[in-house]
Amino acid sequence: MSKRTRAVTISLLVAVLVTWVYPTLPHSTSKETPVISARTKATMEEKRENKRIAREYSRALGYSRKETACLITLWTRESRFDHFAKPKDSRGRKRSTAYGIAQLLGERSGDPAIQVLHGLRYIGYRYGGSACRALAHHRRGWY
């Protein structure tokens, strides 16, 4: 195993652990106002990096080339790999609480790597790990 492959594997394992442990941690009861980013869109460079992360994590989870291609198509349609994406109607009004790359409801993280992991976890739970099944369902309206 090369140093790069080992580093990616370790990073993925740490990210998966953080993803599964984080929701169970007690949340702060502080009255402080959360800091809200003034940015509303990712740059093209950030979107390319987000797509690279999705490819890398899907391969690490054993997705075939076909499944990875379906995943890329699905999330391109959902958010164009923008980790700030929020669905809006034609008048610019918010349509739902979906957020981020995978457009998951109630997504809390602004970190693209965590959003990708949450999205892959959702596909694993809802569609048995098949991004192609998720894409087929999305063609009927949503996934």
- Residue 27 has a pLDDT of 41
Q: How confident is the model at residue 70 (pLDDT cuts 50, 70, 90)?
A: very high
First to last CA, the chain: 36
For residue 128, give both structure tokens.
């048995």
Q: Which of 8-12, 58-62, 133-137 has the lowest mean pLDDT?
A: 8-12
* Residue in 2, 122, 7 with CA at minimum distance from that of residue 56: 7
What are the pLDDT digits (tens) for 108-128? 899 999 999 999 999 999 999
For the entire predicted model, the pTM comes to 0.72
Percent of the chain beyond pLDDT 90? Answer: 57
Domain positions in the chain are 40-138
How many other CB atoms are found less than 10 A from the CB of residue 26?
5
Token pair 């509303």: residue = 40
Side-chain-side CA neighbours of residue 116 (13 Å): 26
DSSP state of 26: P
